[in-house]
Chain A
Amino acid sequence: MTENIIPRKYNYNLETGTVGTDDDDMANILYNINCMEMKASYESDDVNDMQTTFGESFSMVTEAAEHLDNFIENHKEKLRSDTIDDAELFLSEAVVILDDVEPPQTDIELMSNSIKAAYQKMLDAVPSLLKLDEQAI
C-alpha cells in the first residue's frame, strides 16, 4: 500500500442542501466520488481483490455518469451549457478510462492506475458539479 497520493476532497458544500442536496442525482454523484476515493486508495497484491475493486469502481463511475444525465434532464432550463459540457466531459473521461481496460484482466498495476486516473477525472468534475448545483436552485 502506497500513500494515498490523490488529494481527498469529499467535503462539498452544496447550496441546495445542508450537508447534501435535496436532489438525489447530485447527491449520488458526489457520494460516488466519495466512494471512489476509497477504491482509489485501495491496493492489494491479490488479483481477485483488485478485480473486485475495479468492478466496483466501474459501477460507481458509470452510475455517476447516469445520474449526471438525469440531473441535466431535470434541470436543463436552468443550467448553463458550458458548465454541463465541463462536467460531462470529465465524467465521460472517467468512464472511458475504466472502459478501456480490456477483459480478461489480471494486471494489478494497470487496474489500480486506471482507478486512480478515473478518480482524478471525477475530482476534476467537482467544480463544475458544484456550479451546476448552484445553477439548479
Chain B
Amino acid sequence: MNSPEINQIEDVRILGEVSRLASKYADYEEFKRELETVISRKEKTAAKARMTVARRTGNEPAKKRASLQMPSEEALKKAYNYSRQEDKIISSAINLVQDQKRSLNDNPTPVHKDWEINEIGQQIAEGPGLTVLDGGPGAGKSFSLGKAVDVMQVPVICLGSTKSAAAGLYKDMNDAQSDKDKEAKKNEEKIKQGKKPKEIAPKIDILGGLTVDQLLQKKPLKDKDLQARKEKVLEQLKKTPKPCIMVDEAGLLGHKEMRRLLNFVEKNGAKVILAGDCQQIPEGKGQPFKTLVESLKGTKAYVNAPYVFRQSCFSEKAITSGIYNGLSSNNPKEINKDKAVEFLEAAYAITGGPAKPPKNGEMTFQDYLKDPKIQEMPGDTPVQKYVTYLEKNKDSLLKEGTGTILHNYEAHAEYESALKALEEAKKAQEKAKNEGKTDLPPLPKEPKEPDVPKPSYDSYMCAALAAQQMGVQAYETRGQTQEPSKDIYKDVAKDFAENYSKSLENGLEARKRTALEKGKDYTTLKQEYPDGKLAITATEKEADELNAAIRKEMIDQGKLPAKEPVIINGDRKLLSQTEIEAAQKAGKKVKYAYALDVKTTQGMSQTGKVTFVVRGDTMDKMHGGEILVGATRHKGEFEIKMDQDAHKNKQSFYKASVQQFASARVIKDAFQPDLHNAAPKDTSKKGKHSLQDRIKAAKKERKNVMAQLKTIHKNRALKQQAVTRKKDALTH
C-alpha cells in the first residue's frame, strides 16, 4: 500500500484506477489510453451523481468541483512502473541468475545420486544466484534444501514467508546439523572398532529463522531473541563467503515482499533459493513466485520436485510409515486393525499430487488389491480384505521379509569383506613398492556393490504391523516425522526369532540366531526366501478417479454429506468475459457471488490439506459446503475454519485481508458442476443474517436489556426505601 511513486499523482481519486490498470496492461501506451477512457467515464458518472443529488434534494449542484485530470506524463510513468512490480521482480531475478559470482558452484561436493531428493538437492546447490524450487505438498522441498546445504558449504540464512515456515526450516536445518555431531560420535566408535567410518559433510552455520518481513523491516524487532538473530544475519551478510538465503514457502510471498526480498539479495550479494509451490495463493497481491517459475522454466535456475514423497500413498514406504504411525494405540502389542484400515482407506483415496509414474512391471494399489488371494479374504472393502490377508499370512510374510533382509546383509557382508581385502592388497602392494620389490602381489578385482533386493510389498506391510504388535521401536525418530528405515527388518527379525522360533523347524532357529548375531552364515534362509519386489504406484488421473468413485460411494452410503462444492477461482482474479463465455458454452453455470474473505490458506504444503480461514458470516454463507480450489492442482482435502482472532485483533485482520478481499470472488459450479449436482440447496439458514433479521435481533436484545435495567432500578429503589424506613425507625 505504501506507494510514493503512485502518490506523486496529485488527484487522489484516480490512484485506484492507475494501480489497477497498470497491473493489467503490459504496454504503457495501451495503459495510458485505457486510463483516459476510464477517467472520462468516471468524470461523467461523478457529474451525473451530482445532478441526481441536486435533483432529489431540490438544491443547486454543490460548489464547482475539480474535474478528474490525467496526471503528468512523468508522474504517470513512475506510477506505472511502480505498479508493474512483476517486471521489476523479473528483472531482479534475471540479474541474480546472470551474476556468476553468486552461483557458488565452483567446487560443489558431489552427493550420491541414489534417489531423487539428493538429485534435487544437488541441482539446487549448483543453480545460479537465484534458484527456484517448485514442488507440490510433500515433494521434499524442505528436505532437498537440507541436502543442498551440505553441497554448498556456505552459511545458510533460513527465511520463510510465514512464521511457521521460517521456524520450520530453521529447526529442520539445525536438527540436521546437530545430527552430524551424533554421526561424528558414532564414527569415532567405529574407528575404535576398526570399522570404516561414514562420510559426514562438515557442519554449516545456520542463521535466521525469520520471516521475510521481519528481516526486511527497518524497525528493530520487539522479540529480543529474533532481533539478535536478525543482527547475526545482517552481520553474516557482510562477511565472505557470502551466505545463501533460503526461503521456504516462497509461493506465499506477495509482489511487494518478493520485490523487496530480491532487492535486498541483490544489494547484499548473496545467493537466494526460493522453495515453494507455485500453485499456492499468496496473501498479498499477485503470484510472483508463479511468475518466476514460469519465467525461469527450462533454465538452470529452475528446479522441479515432481514427485510426492511424503504422500505418495501408494509407495510402500509411505504406507508402511503411515500404518506404523497410525497404529500407536495404548496397547502396542495389539494390532489396531481399524486404524490400519482407516489409514489405508485414506491412502487409497488420497490425491495429494502426482504420485511416482509407474515403471516397468509395477502396478497400482487398486490393481494389486484385485489379486484373487486378497479377494478371497473376508472383508467389506478391498482394503479390509487386504489387512485380513496380512494378518492371516503374518508368519510366512515375516519369514519372507526377514529372509530377504538377511540375504541383503549377506550380500553386503561379502561386498564389504571384498573391499577390505582390496584395501589390504593395495597396502601390501605399496609396502612392497616402498621396499623396492619388483615382484608385486596381484590386486583382486574391484567388487561391485550388490543390487540390494527389496522385501516384497506384503512382507514390508506386515513388518510394520508386526512391529507395532511387538512394540518394537523399529526405526529412528527424526524430529516430528517418523520414517521407517531398512533396520525395521533387523528389529522385527530379532523379535521374530525370539518369539516365533519355537514354531520353526529344528535347527533353523539356531541358524537364525547365528545369522542375526554374526551377520552371516544363513545360506539356508537365503535359499528359502526369494526376494520379492513390488512397488505400488498410481498416476494422478487414477488417483482422481479413485477419489471420485470413493466419494460417490460414501455419499451413497450416507457417510459423506452431499453438499454443493464452492469453487474459488484459484487465481483470485475475476474471470474474464471470454472465460465466462467458455464456461457457459461448456454447459457450466457461472455465478458471481460475494467476496469470500479468505484470510489465508494454512498449511497447504505441510499437510496437503488446505484450511481456508474465513470470517463467521462467510461460514454460514457456504452452507457448510466443500471448497475446491480451481487453480490448485492438488485437489486434496480442504476445510473451512472460522478465524478465531478476527474479533480479537481487528487491525491485523483487516490489514491482512484488505488486499485479498478486493480481488477474491467465489464462483459456484464453475469447474465441476456435476460433482454434487443433485445436492439440495440448504435453505435452513436463509435470512439468518439478513438486514431485517439483524434489526429484529437487535430490537429483541434491546428489549431484554431494558427489562433488566428496569428490574435493577426497581430493586435499587426498593432497597433505598427499606434503608430510609430503617433510618426513620431508628431516629424515632
Contacts and interface: CB of A to CB of B under 8 A. Distances in A.
B594 A56 contact: no
B163 interface: no
Given A38-B657, A53-B1, A89-B52, A31 B650 contact: no
A103 B12 contact: yes
Interface of B is mostly: helix
A122 B340 CA distance: 56
A22 B580 CA distance: 12
B14 A55 contact: yes
Nearest to A103: B11
Nearest to B649: A1
B595 to A, nearest CB: 5
A38 B621 contact: no
Given A9-B694, A31-B592, A55-B14, A99 B49 contact: yes
A22 B594 contact: no
B12 A51 contact: yes
Interface residues of A, number: 66
Contacts of A53: 1
B201 interface: no
A103 B45 CA distance: 18
Nearest to B10: A104
Given A38-B662, A42-B655, A53-B1, A21 B592 contact: yes
B10 A103 contact: yes
A57 to B, nearest CB: 7
B18 interface: yes
A105 B12 CA distance: 7
A81 B591 CA distance: 27
Contacts of A24: 592
Interface string A9-22: 11111000111111
A98 B591 CA distance: 31
Nearest to B52: A92
A52 B15 contact: yes
Interface string B11-35: 1111111111000000000000000
Given A12-B594, A35-B595, A48-B7, A54 B15 contact: yes
A39 interface: yes
A11 B1 contact: no
B17 A55 contact: yes
A4 interface: yes
B621 A19 contact: yes
A48 to B, nearest CB: 5
Interface stretch (B206-214, B398-406, B683-691): B683-691
Contact of A54 (B3, B12, B52, B66): B12
23 contacts: A8-B617, A10-B595, A11-B594, A11-B617, A11-B621, A12-B594, A13-B690, A20-B666, A35-B595, A42-B654, A44-B1, A48-B1, A48-B3, A52-B1, A57-B16, A58-B13, A65-B45, A89-B52, A98-B13, A101-B13, A103-B10, A104-B10, A111-B12
Given A52-B15, A92-B53, A103-B66, 5 more contacts: A20-B592, A52-B3, A56-B662, A62-B45, A103-B12
Interface of A: 1, 3-4, 7-13, 17-22, 24, 27-28, 30-31, 34-35, 38-39, 41-42, 44, 46-49, 51-60, 62, 65-66, 69, 85, 88-89, 91-93, 95-96, 98-105, 111, 126-127, 130
